[in-house]
Amino acid sequence: MEETNLNNHERLIKKYYLVDYDNTGYSGLNGIEELDNESVVTIFYSKKAQSIPIQFFQKFLECKANVKFYPIENEDKNIINFQISAYLGYVLGDDKTADCYIVSNDNKLGFLQNFGNTKDIEIKILPSVSGEKQEFEEVSEPDEKSEFYIAVESLNLSLEDKSSLFKILDLFKSGDITMRKQHIQANIKWVFGEGNALGYYRAIKKLIK
């Protein structure tokens, strides 16, 4: 009987998804139901984001991946970034052939992808598990005399940016107000960049009712 040489068989490569849920909100989990059983999803979250919309439970039921939840008790700034970096090191220390995907809209994590490039390690930053950005549904443009236009007037935005900001506000127009505020902030940061996010959010915060 011929002995089987395992080295002649292609080794299954595990895929690890490290999700910064505080940063992406539930849109970061889009595509989780498409993963196979060679995928591991670790969802990092703090007290600021401890709920997941009920419609996502069906995605978890359909998901074949190993899903883990990693609560962060410490509320220091950037603590989730530090935890993700440390966890990434743990994963690669255990399996250097693994493909690692960090699901976040935080540009500061780009250095991890650059590190992977120098070491021939697959590390990518994704806006969601699927790798696709949140698509906004078509919504009616607000009237120029509306509360929205009055609120953002001082920002001197282009018509295109006003439209994008309005679509973010409209996308999260229902549900728990605390979670909606978090997701609106995260999406503004992703679309307009961290430098503009705080000012834009403050301008429309009073419209979140």
Q: What is the CATH number of the domain that holds 92?
A: 3.40.50
Residues spanned by the domain of 195: 147-207
Q: What is the pLDDT of residue 90?
A: 92
In angstroms, the CA 81 to CA 86 distance is: 9
Name the nearest CA neighbour of 190 among 22, 53, 50. Answer: 22
Residue 197 burial (CB count, 10 A)? 18
**Same domain for 199 and 153?**
yes
**Same domain for 73 and 113?**
yes
Q: Which residues is 42 bridged to in the sheet?
A: 18, 68
Query: Which of 56, 91, 126 finishes a domain?
Result: 126
- The DSSP 8-state label assigned to residue 209 in this structure reads -
114 belongs to a structural domain = yes
**Same domain for 82 and 185?**
no
195 belongs to a structural domain = yes
Q: What is the pLDDT of residue 142?
A: 60
**Same domain for 164 and 66?**
no
**Same domain for 70 and 166?**
no
Q: What is the pLDDT of residue 28?
A: 87
Residue 105 burial (CB count, 10 A)? 25
**Same domain for 121 and 172?**
no
- Strand spans (E) along the chain: 15-20, 39-45, 66-71, 99-103, 123-126
Q: Which residues is 68 bridged to in the sheet?
A: 42
Name the nearest CA neighbour of 78 among 53, 44, 113, 119. Answer: 44
Q: Is residue 15 within 8 Å of residue 101, measured between CB atoms?
A: yes
pLDDT tens, residue order, the chain (209 aa): 333 333 433 446 799 999 998 888 878 888 999 999 999 999 998 877 656 665 566 777 788 999 999 988 887 878 899 999 999 999 998 888 899 999 998 888 888 888 888 888 889 999 999 998 765 555 455 665 689 989 998 998 888 788 888 888 888 888 888 888 888 888 787 677 777 888 999 999 999 98
Provide the number of structural domains found in the chain. Answer: 2
